């Protein structure tokens, strides 16, 4: 006759803590994906807009976009720590440029809604539109004179 060992029915504190942590993490909804889009709205349809967006972790890359519908866009999920920040550098030519915060968890824009952003480059500067709050584009910043740091990329 074989003897049956009695199983230890006491729960281990580390297993209980891991179980509670899993339940808490499952209860927290995952952050929705956010899309940032930069559009060339320059009046000269032949003029290409240089766009370069990046964060501390991701370099989205450099692209030249033409006016009339082409855009530069990327999507991401904000991190759990609330520190996601993407910035973009744009230049309509070799004589003017602008850098701006394209999306940030701690967004200084009024009524931050953590939603998509569309940035529109026009002849006088850059405009912003947010999915939830804005009906139309709002002027954000005018072009800065000078060549900026990406002048070596102006081969077009």
Q: What is the CATH number of the domain that holds 106?
A: 2.60.40
Within-domain flag for 10: no
Within-domain flag for 11: no
Number of residues that this document lists for the chain: 156
Pick from 89, 88, 87, 98: which is nearest to 145 by CA?
A: 98
Tens place of pLDDT per residue across the chain (156 aa)? 555 555 554 555 676 666 665 444 444 445 678 899 999 999 999 999 999 999 999 999 999 999 987 899 999 988 888 788 999 999 998 889 999 999 887 665 544 555 788 999 999 999 998 766 667 888 999 999 987 665 455 444
Within-domain flag for 7: no
pTM above 0.85, yes or no: no
Q: How far apart are the first and last CA of the chain?
A: 88
The number of CA neighbours under 13 Å toward the Cβ of 117 is 26
Distance CA 39, CA 73 (A): 9
Residue that is written with structure tokens 């701006």 in the block: 100
Q: Calculate the alpha carbon distances from 36 to 12, 18, 98, 117 in Å.
A: 46, 36, 17, 5
Q: Calculate the alpha carbon distances from 19 to 14, 28, 112 in Å.
A: 9, 15, 35
Within-domain flag for 5: no
Return the pLDDT at 4. Answer: 56
Within-domain flag for 92: yes
The domain in which residue 65 lies consists of 34-153
Domain total for the chain? 1
DSSP string across 84-117: -EEEEEEEEETTEEEEEEEEETT--STT-----E
Within-domain flag for 2: no
Within-domain flag for 15: no
Return the pLDDT at 114. Answer: 59
Distance CA 79, CA 29 (A): 12
Return the pLDDT at 126. Answer: 97
């Amino acid at each position: 006759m074989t003897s049956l060992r009695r199983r230890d029915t006491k729960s281990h504190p580390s297993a209980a803590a891991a179980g509670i942590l899993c339940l808490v993490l499952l209860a927290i909804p995952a952050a929705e994906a956010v899309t940032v889009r930069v559009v060339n709205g320059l009046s000269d349809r032949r003029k290409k807009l240089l766009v370069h967006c990046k964060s501390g972790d991701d370099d989205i890359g450099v692209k030249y976009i033409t006016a009339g519908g082409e855009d530069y866009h990327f999507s991401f999920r904000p991190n759990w720590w609330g520190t996601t920040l993407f910035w973009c550098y744009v230049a309509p030519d070799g004589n003017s440029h602008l850098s701006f915060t394209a999306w940030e968890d701690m967004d200084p824009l009024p009524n931050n809604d953590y939603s998509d952003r569309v940035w529109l480059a026009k002849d006088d500067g850059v405009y912003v539109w947010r999915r939830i709050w804005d009906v139309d584009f709002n002027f954000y910043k005018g072009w800065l004179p000078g060549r900026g740091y990406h002048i070596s990329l102006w081969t077009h």
